[in-house]
Amino acid sequence: MKRKKVILITGGAGFIGSHLCDCFIRKDFRVICMDNLITGSKDNIRHLLGEKNFTFCKHDISKRINIKGAIDYILHFASPASPVDYTEFSIQTLKVGSLGTHNVLGVAKAKKAKFLLASTSEVYGDPLVHPQKETYWGNVNSVGPRSMYDESKRFAEAIVMAYHRVHKVDTRIIRIFNTYGPRMRMRDGRVVPNFIYQTLHNKPLTIYGTGKQTRSFCYVDDMVAGIVKLLQSNIHTPVNIGNPIEFNMLELAKVLQKVAKIKKKIVRKPLPVDDPKQRKPDIAIAKTKLKWKPKVQIQEGLARTFAWFKDNA
């Protein structure tokens, strides 16, 4: 009988990680989900706990990792990812990006597993180039209030490429742009759950600065499809995955109000330090080499996300 492929997903109880667990269970993999649950939640994977091909392991990957048996693929998604979380867990964020990535790469080297790092558009910092191509080196404040996340991911990219060049580990790097959808935490601090929380709790919508700063929002199903395509590719350098359609925060607020059928007052607060003014991926590599592009429009994605939050509030 042919052995099932085995995939280790670190941060598998998190937002994107849990959707990846679902994806690979559907693909008939044996899935090992590893998470220390500081920002992930067992609620995200509860429906999988009875699956014979699913194993949950509560573990901090900044510490030594011991896994018996074969592993064919590793998706390294462990890290706090919202400003609220990586500010609260600043040391843990730096550790998981450095020590954690080193430990997981060690597993990949020992098991001869294909390895994919979840990096981020935050490596571009507050960009001076728009849209951002993978060749752009970024405009990052290495000692600023967001530096623990930005620099941990920049280091993670560097060590992944070092393991690829020196130890011939079969690696991939995805730079994830703003992703949203079901299983985000209501109070995680990012703009989509923030707006939805405020809408459901009859609060005014908070806009920081002028509200003209832009983001490009990718629905989680599209993101998972892009991750799978990249994993199946032979591209070892970073690849942007995200939705290139740009929205400023005032426009996003209007779309959500239309979806929720509620008109909300807007209150303004100062823009946080080093908050990027523009964020838009150049996805030419993903489109040409992976044959990937996002399919879910913002109105549809927000409607699905709003409905999920309403049911799970």
Question: CA-to-CA distance for 54 and 56, rounded, in angstroms?
Answer: 7
pLDDT digits (tens, 9 = 90+) for 140-169: 999 999 999 999 999 999 999 999 999 999
Q: Is the pLDDT of residue 212 over 90?
A: no
Which pLDDT score, from 0 to 100, does residue 274 have? 64
Task: Determine the Cα–Cα distance for residues 225 and 282; give it in Å rounded to an integer.
Answer: 17
Query: Does residue 310 fall inside a structural domain?
Result: no
The more confidently predicted of residues 84 and 264 is 84
Task: With respect to residue 54, please indicate whether it lies within any of the assigned structural domains.
Answer: yes
In a domain, 189, yes or no: no
Quote the CA–CA distance of 274 and 147 in Å, as a whole number: 9
176 Cα distance to chain centroid: 6
Please indicate, yes or no, if residue 193 is contained in any of the structural domains: no
Instruction: Say what the alpha-carbon torsion angle 274, 275, 278, 282 is, to the nearest 10 degrees.
Output: 80
Grade residue 261 by pLDDT with cuts at 50, 70 and 90.
Answer: confident
Query: pLDDT by residue (tens digit) across 290-302?
Result: 999 999 999 999 9
| C-beta of residue 59 within 8 angstroms of C-beta of residue 38 | no
Q: Is residue 61 part of a domain?
A: yes
CATH classification at residue 79: 3.40.50.720
Q: Of 73, 86, 149, 180, which residue is the catalytic one?
A: 149
Domain that holds residue 127: 6-182+218-244+280-296
Q: What is the mean pLDDT of residues 65-70?
A: 95
Q: What is the pTM of this model?
A: 0.95
Buried b (16+ CB within 10 A) or exposed e, 12-37: bbbbbbbbbbbbbbeeebbbbbbbbe
How many domains are there within the chain?
1
Mean pLDDT of the chain: 94
Residue 276 has pLDDT above 90, yes or no: no
Percent of the chain past pLDDT 90, that is, above it, reads: 77
- Which range, 10-14, 123-127, 246-250, is most confident? 10-14
Asked whether residue 266 is domain-assigned, the answer is no
Mean pLDDT (whole number) for 126-150: 94
- Residue 208 bears catalytic tag: no
Q: Give the E-state strand segments of 101-217 in sequence order.
A: 114-120, 171-176, 179-180, 205-208, 214-216
User: Is 261 part of a structural domain of the chain?
Assistant: no
Band (247; pLDDT cuts 50, 70, 90):
confident
Q: Residue 256: inside a domain, yes or no?
A: no
Q: Quickly count: other Cβ atoms within 10 Å of residue 238's Cβ.
A: 19
